[in-house]
Structures are given as C-alpha cells and as structure tokens.
Chain A
Amino acid sequence: MASSVPDLLHPSARARIDGPHTKLAVSLAFATGVAGGLFVEALDRATVAPSSWLPAAFAGDLFVHQFASMCFGFTVEGAPATLATKHLVSVLSHPPSDPAIALHRRAILSELVASKELRESLEKLYALLCRLRTLLEGATGIGKWDPNRRQLDILQVTKEILDCMGDRFASAESGLKVLHAFAEEVRAGEPYRSLSDLLRYDERLATLNLQVTVGADGQLRGFQILSIQENAENPFVNSAPRRWLSKLELFARGFRFSDAEVIARLIDAVFEGVVDELVRFVQLLGDVELYLGALAFRDRAADAGLAVCLPKLVDASEPRTITQLFNPLLLAHGMKPVPCDIALDRHDAIVLVTGPNSGGKTRLLQSMALAQLLAQCGLFVPAKEATIAPAPSLVVSLIQETKADQAEGRLGMELVRIRELFEQLPPGAMVILDELCSGTNPSEGEEIFELVIRMLTRLAPQTFITTHFLAFAARLEEQKTIDSLRFLQVVLGPNHEPTYQFAPGVAQTSLAGQTAARLGVTGDQLLALIERNIRAARTPAE
C-alpha cells in the first residue's frame, strides 16, 4: 500500500473519504458487480478542508448547486460526465480557511491552462477513472456472466490508471505532480508487479508456433503446432499437472473444480494487494472532476466571448477592480450575460447599489458573491481580471420567498433576516443584501436601513446592498457621515434603458413608470383592460 495519497485539492495530502467503509464497498463491488452509487456515496460523505464559511448563509441564494451542475458540466469521451454534484457543491461551498490551499489549486489550474498535454492527460485519467467506476458499480455485458472477466477488466483499468498517472504527469510542476509520485510509489511495490504479472498471465499463458497449410482452393489443408512455449518467467504460470492438482485442491476446500476458480483465487489475491489504491481513486475522481469542471467553465465562458481569470488576491483595504464581470448563472441558462466593470477604492466598503428595476443590480450581487466564492476556492472567477480580498465568511440574502407557515409579515421577516445576519457575521465578511427593508413604508424602512449600515461598519465587511430608497441613498452620499459607504448606480442608455453597467453615484430614478409601461401597467393600458371586461360582461352569452 502506498503511503502517499493522490490529493489534488490540498498541498498537504489528506484522505477525505471514509477509508474503511469505502474499502469494504469497493471489495463488495469487485466481488459482486452490484454497487450502484459507490463512488458518489463515498464522495458525498467526503470531508472538506476546514472552512469558516457556512453554506447555509449563501448556497441557496447563490444557486451553488445549479452553478456546479450547469457551469462545471463537461464531456468525457463524447458523453456528458456524471458528476458527483453533491461533492462538487460541498467543495465549492467550503472555501478553505488556509490560503495555501487556494494557491495550490490555482497553481494546478494555471498549469492545466498552460499545458494542453497535461489537460489531455487529466481528461484521460478521468475517463479511466470513470471506466473503473462503471466496471465496479455495475456488471454489464459479458461481466454479468463472467465475473473473472469483469474483475480482470477492473484490474486492467487499475493498471492503466497507475500507468497514466506515472507516465503522463512526470513533467507536472504544480500539485499535479503528486499523481506521478503516487503512481511511482505504487509501481515500485510488489502489488503492482503482481498485478502486471497477472494481466500478462491472462493475456499470454503460452505461445504456440503454428503452421497452417492452405490449398489452392483456399481451404485449410494442414494445421500443425510447431512449438509450445509457456511463459515460465511469470510467477502465475504453473505446470499443467500442478494446475490440475490446484483445481483438485480447491475442490477439496469447497470451491468449484475449474480453471475459472483457480484464476478467481489469483485475482482475489492480486486485488487484495491493490484495493487500497482503488479506494484512493474514489477520492481522486472527485478531485479531478473539480478541475475539469473549472476548465469546462472557462471553456463555456470563452465560447460565449467571455473570459475568466484567477484573480489577484489582495488585502481588504486595497482597491477593488473587476473587469468584465459576468453572471455565470445567466451563462449556464444559455443567455449571454453583459459583462461589467467594477472599480472601488477599497474592498471593505459598504456599497449601496441603486438603479432601475431590471437594471442588473441583483445579477451584479450574484456575480460578486460567486466571484468571491470561486476565488477563495482557488478557482476561476467570472471576470477577465479581478482583485479579490479573501473574506472569512459570506452572507447572501437575495430572495425572500413567502412561506405558508411564516410567522411574521414581510417587514417582520426582513427584521428576522437582519437579526440572523448579525448573529452569524464575523468581522471582514462579505455581505450581499438585496433590497433591504423594502417591506415597509420608506420613512421607517430608511431608519432601520441606516441602523443596519452603521452597525455593519463596526465589522468592516465587504458589503453590497441594493435599494430603491433613492432619496435616502442620495442623502447618505451627500452627508458622507459614514466613511466606508460607497455608491454604485446602474448606467442608463440614451433612452433611459439599462446598460447593465455600473458607475459611482446614486440613481435619480428607479424608472418604475418605464418598467410599468414595459409590463403593461400604465393608466391607459389598465383602463383599456377594464372597458374590455365591462363589454364582455354586457354581451349576452351566445
């Protein structure tokens, strides 16, 4: 058993899946060919690096699950990969507290982007891991009827995986080099040699030198065995009488009297030697999936004319500069997002975003939060360039669905939401709030709004809040009583249409009338509807 673990997610390798449980599951799967979901189940229960982020505070509102399944989806050998989405979401939702881990992942992604060969090797490795998963989790084809064949196929794929890791990642300089190191360690051991010998034994027990004579009519006329050469160097090759006696011995021990039983015992012995490596492949599959998913996200963005990057990690007091930030959820749903640039003099500011309805404010908040999340995970962020100041936590409150059993009205729910925010907010965290205090009259709402902002300043968070309290925002901008307060407004086009770009300042209008007209809610339009209904009521039914 190799002492190292091929962990691609962490600079100091760690076994994150339940080893004994997975080993038992792999052994049963190997023996029976019936273990649907073994890999997914093990990965779902895998631990992640320590993280101060609480997924409950943001994952739902950010649609992390949808993001992972739709933006990280990729194909393997022409077919969509079956992702362990729960594992992926778990990794994405737990940005590691140790910055070295994110740097480790960024280095791997950088190398994969720079080296086409390494990326192809990783894709090849993933394809082999998927083949292993398929063979282990469900017997198909001949494997249903010939367990030995299926088990030999599993061992063959195991060897191919080790060879792929050992041969194709020798040049890697990032964290990918653990694949080569791991494979070399395994290949130097006895279990790998026995595995290779067994596969050679399966393929070449002996070599027959045949002479076939064909007549003028093309018919076979003669068939002669010139020589038989047994592969005597292979430790699994025994003499014919010994093989026969072996069968007799197995029969006396309660097994079947057959050649298949002999090879089954040898397969069992070889499998026992490499089962621990197979267990590690389960974790490796999840790791590889993360990187190929990130690369697929990059490819998907590029196809839409967008760029992603590994952001520059800076201190919270440094300026925030994001170029061509886009919303990946829109990209995932087949829409082409309009990228925007964000420039602020510092990260730890409280940014009030104002602008018309449907102007892209909420999409901006989603993009900012996802960029923060991905950056801290060590992955590509949806922007051409970006500076990101790591935050110890993220709280996102974008949507407030009305629930049948909610105890409070809309204002009450908003106040509960504010209370929960402060209950879980550490200093320096990122806070994303959409339309704070919109559920009550403006004068009272503004009071609570200002209270929240003033309290937030004590925690120096990176905050983005959207609001339609334009006068209130304008007053705050004018008074400049809160030092960390910054303002972004939606830039409108010549005809007051939203451009989905953002500029410093407070919007003058929410363009509610324009939105109402676009949605058919002007006085004339409503009057026309009323008159139509009255006419319809007066007309007798035919």
Chain B
Amino acid sequence: MATLLTNRRMAPELRERVERSVAGRTTSHTKPARFRAILRFLFLISVIATIVWTFSHNRVAARELERRRSALLSELRTHGGSLDVRARGAIAEDEKFLHDLAGPYEGDVAAFDFQAPGALAQRIVYVRGPIEAFTSGASIQNAAGASLDEAFVRCLLDPPRSRKERDVLSKARAVYAATAPLPNVYRLYDAYAAHVFLQPAFEARVRAADEHELTTFEKRVERARLGQTKSALAAQLLVAVLDEPGDLKVPADLDGERPHDVRVAIVDLAGSKVLFRARRHVDPSGWSEKSRVEFASAMDSCALAYDLHHP
C-alpha cells in the first residue's frame, strides 16, 4: 500500500518496511488503530457529506431565492413597465388637485356633462374625506385609507330615480347591500398602497434582499394588489368629495351625519383640468326619522349625486 512517507530515494526494502509500518501489522495492538481509522474515515465521510449537503442545499436555496427574486422583479416590471409617465406621477398630480380643492373655494366649474354617454364610464379614482385632511401628502394618504367605496360614488354612477325619500332610501339600501366592486372605480388608497413597489428604488431593495426580506417583500406585494394600484394610477378621472365641517350646534344623526357643506370635484387627470367643481349643502333633516336612523349619510350622498345629475 503506497504511502506519502516513502519516496524514490528510499531503497525498495525500506519502502516496503515503511509501508508495512503505516499499514500496521496483524497484531492485536494495531487493531485499535484500524478501528480508529474506520471511525475517522466515517467521521470524515460524514463531514464531507455534511459540507456537500450544505453546499448543495445552499446552492439550491440560492437558486430558489434568485428564482423568487426574478419572479418578483418580473412582476414589478410587468406592472411598472405598463405605467406611462403620467401614471408614474399620478399621485403627485392627485395630491396637488386635492390640496387646491381643500383650500379657499375657487368657485364652481361645470364643464362636465353628467348626462353625456360614457361620461362616468371612464376609469375613476375616488376619494372622500373631511376637508382638513387634504392639506398635505401624508394626511391625504391617511384620508385615502379611510375613504371607502361608499354611497356617493355608487349613486353618482347609478343615481336614484328621483329625489323622493322612497327612491333615495331604496338606493341607499342597495348601496349598503352591494358587495361587488364597481368595475371602473378605484380608491385613491389603491394608488398609494402599491405605488412604492413600482418605484426603481424598490427594485434595488429587492435585488439586495436576503431570503427573509424577500419573503416580506413578496407578501407585501401580494397584499398590495398591484393591478388595483396600476389601474388607480392610470385613472382618467379623479372624483373627490371633501366634507366641510358641519354645524356642531345641530345634533348629529346616529351615523354621524349632520348638515354641512360638501365640495365635489371631477378632475380630468389626463388633461390636468378640473371639469367639475361645486359646493353643496347637505342636510339629513329632510328625511324621515325612520330613514335617518340608519341611512342619513347614504341618503344625503345619494341625494347629492342625484342633484349633480339633475342640477
């Protein structure tokens, strides 16, 4: 059995003896050495196997991580790539219009024809909130988060048949009972929710993310509903309803509704132009007690929408 202890300069007889010495003779005192050798061999094999398994596992994990990273980046690029320049700056544009609308009232604008076919069939981004919430980007985002798909926008797209209490109540009930989202209306919050994921900076973070961070990003992107965001950013119209503070001396209804002024604006986002701006007063006192208990706010919203359609 060859050994590294021998070399060519050694006499053949010496080489043989060195090899015998290394191999161990068949005497009892060499048995522990052989046993030790077997143990060490097994240990060595297990160490090598562990290293190979770890290396292989890490390689598979790294490959899987890269695959997930690529998938996420691909998804981000798919959604982000379809956004045009206007869509990328849509939030800033929306905030600018909302900020202006919350300022001193600049008077009515009536360049929007509610009766025109398809006028409200365009992609709409909608937000409603107290007027004081629309003073800065952060507060607008908070207001957008609190703004739901509520009665006004539904009634705007599908107004009550008349302003009679019976028709308005019926519509308000229908609005509350509706579960299917409106096909062309998106919340402004949708634009905020995933807007950050469509920015190049987020791509850079995804590229640098480890497995844990990537998992977090994946979950956040999954929850963010990029499709909704993209649609919200690509909306053609901004419909904003800003509730001015009501008269605090008048008791509020159970849903918080009380008489107050409401600013309504419809903005052509593609043209960066306010198409409609109006300031209306809503007052639930005109509705019967029975209707107001549950539907004061919805009925005021639907009545307002009816009024816009029928000035």
Q: Which of A194, A238, A254 contacts B7 (CB 8 A)?
A: A238
- State whether the Cβ of A174 lies closer than 8 Å to any Cβ in chain B: no
Specify which of B11, B14, B38 lies most central, judged by the most chain A CB atoms within 10 Å of its CB. Answer: B14
Count class of interface residues, chain B: 20 to 34
Main secondary structure on B side of the interface with A: helix
Hey, which chain B residues are within 8 Å of A262, CB to CB? 5
- State whether the Cβ of B92 lies closer than 8 Å to any Cβ in chain A: no
Contact B11 A235 (CB under 8 A): yes
Contact B5 A194 (CB under 8 A): no
Binary A-proximity of B16-58 (CB < 8 A = 1, otherwise 0):
0110111110000100111111111100100000000000000
In the complex the two chains form, what is the Cα distance from A31 to B37 in whole Å? 20
Contact B11 A193 (CB under 8 A): yes
Q: Which of A190, A233, A266 contacts B18 (CB 8 A)?
A: A266
* Contact status of A253 and B20, CB under 8 A, knowing A190-B14, A238-B7, A273-B13: no
Binary B-proximity of A356-385 (CB < 8 A = 1, otherwise 0):
000000000000000000000000000000
Chain B nearest CB, measured from A363 CB (Å): 57
Contact A272 B22 (CB under 8 A): no
Nearest B-chain residue to A27, judged by Cβ: B27
Hey, which chain A residues are within 8 Å of B249, CB to CB? none
In the complex the two chains form, what is the Cα distance from A242 to B37 in whole Å? 20
Contact B17 A269 (CB under 8 A): yes
- State whether the Cβ of A170 lies closer than 8 Å to any Cβ in chain B: no
Hey, which chain A residues are within 8 Å of B9, CB to CB? 233-235
- State whether the Cβ of B110 lies closer than 8 Å to any Cβ in chain A: no
Query: Which of A219-227, A244-252, A396-404, A452-460 is found at the contact surface with chain B?
Result: A244-252
Hey, which chain B residues are within 8 Å of A255, CB to CB? 33, 36
Q: Which of A190, A246, A272 contacts B4 (CB 8 A)?
A: A246
Hey, which chain B residues are within 8 Å of A238, CB to CB? 4-5, 7
Binary B-proximity of A252-280 (CB < 8 A = 1, otherwise 0):
11110000001001101110110000000
Interface size, chain A (Cβ < 8 Å)? 28
- State whether the Cβ of B10 lies closer than 8 Å to any Cβ in chain A: yes
* Contact status of A265 and B44, CB under 8 A, knowing A245-B4, A246-B4, A252-B37: no
Tell me the A residues contacting B by CB distance below 8 Å. 31, 190-191, 193-194, 233-236, 238, 242, 245-246, 249-255, 262, 265-266, 268-270, 272-273
Of all A-B residue pairs in the complex, the 8 with the closest CB atoms, nearest first, are A254-B37, A254-B36, A269-B17, A235-B9, A254-B33, A268-B21, A269-B18, A235-B10
Question: Could you list 24 examples of A-B contacts with CB < 8 Å?
Answer: A191-B13, A193-B11, A235-B9, A235-B14, A236-B10, A242-B4, A242-B7, A246-B3, A246-B4, A249-B22, A250-B5, A250-B22, A251-B40, A252-B41, A254-B24, A254-B33, A254-B34, A265-B21, A266-B21, A268-B17, A270-B17, A272-B21, A273-B13, A273-B14
Tell me the B residues contacting A by CB distance below 8 Å. 3-5, 7, 9-11, 13-14, 17-18, 20-24, 29, 32-41, 44
Q: A242-B7, A250-B5, A252-B44 are known contacts; what are 13 more A-B pairs with Cβ within 8 Å? A: A190-B14, A193-B11, A194-B10, A233-B9, A238-B4, A238-B5, A246-B3, A251-B40, A253-B22, A253-B37, A255-B36, A265-B21, A268-B17
